Amino acid sequence: MTKIQNETLAQYFDIPLLSDKMNANIELAMNQKTKPPGSLGKLEQIGIKLGSIQKSLTPTIAQPEILVFAGDHGLCARGVSPWPQEVTRQMVLNFVSGGAAINVMCRSNNIGLSIVDAGIKGPKISSSRIIDARVAEGTKDSYSQPAMSWAQFELCIKSGREIARKKIHGGCDLLGLGEMGIGNSSAAALITAAICDVDLTKVTGPGAGSDGTQLEKKKQILLDVLSNHDPSADALDLCRRFAGFEMVMALGAALESASQNVPVVVDGFIISAAILAGISAQPKLKPYCLFSHRSASPGHRYICEELKVEPILDLNMRLGEGSGAAMAIPVIRTAADILREMATFEQAEVSDKL
């Protein structure tokens, strides 16, 4: 594969267009359930979307899985985070041992969980619970150079595609995306500001815990970074310049899932920024995405406004790890069950009109 560009991404991932006729039939089926039309709000919208993606009046979510991609960021050397870069590795070890929030959430809701080393700094972690897709020991410092080369960008897309493909071939019918990487809220802020054409300081939040003087320092560093790059670069080039390996790999997984007619559950700010770049390059990705929750990170609302999407939940969360996806999946499952199992007026012998 040669250098990926916006115009070639559509050729690399053959994402089917959803059928308007199928969508209308599913909406009709939903409206025949024993309830006033629209009375179940977002659940109805989600159910109709799932039916359209699966091309079925009886959609099923039987084997959801969350992929958490982990990687380090060279920009951390500039002091954009109060947390040391070693925390990425330490948290991945916590995932492996089952002690993180995402582990608890997945166990509680019977969701599969896989951890991907996309580019963690330091020696490889020896564990059968980690998918080794390491590109390098973290990205380059994006202060005045791209975070990754085009070759590395393409490798991330390919790796994400292959990981998603294997999961789907193994039975996964709903793919959630999460991330872990100290410094990646900075990457997400840069991508969001450039694509949405919004003031960078408005989309830059505390991330893993910056506040007061530290937050102002972070904003100034990111302003300097943005001024050192071409903000008019296309979406994928912006991703290459600012994103982490974990973000681009998640994008590759999302694109492959859509090409396989599998819905994608998008986590919060960081994953949404990667998906924003993907949708900007390949709009056919958008209908396959379910945005799990409204992140408390300030930049997330600008992404939602740009994409004109309404997240499923609003729990004032900003943890990452795929935690928003894990909390939204039970709602998504229920939406599928409603369309599949709920009786129609005719079946229940209930009058639907006076």
Active site residues: 321
Check if the beta carbon of residue 136 is closer than 8 Å to that of residue 152. Answer: yes
Of 69, 95, 12, residue with least CA distance to 247: 69
Coil, helix or strand at residue 80: coil
* Rg (the chain; Cα; Å): 20
Cα separation of 221 and 210, whole Å? Answer: 13
Cα separation of 192 and 276, whole Å? Answer: 8
Q: What DSSP state is assigned to residue 293?
A: B
Strands (E), the chain: 64-71, 112-119, 130-132, 174-180, 264-266, 289-291
Q: What DSSP state is assigned to residue 119?
A: E
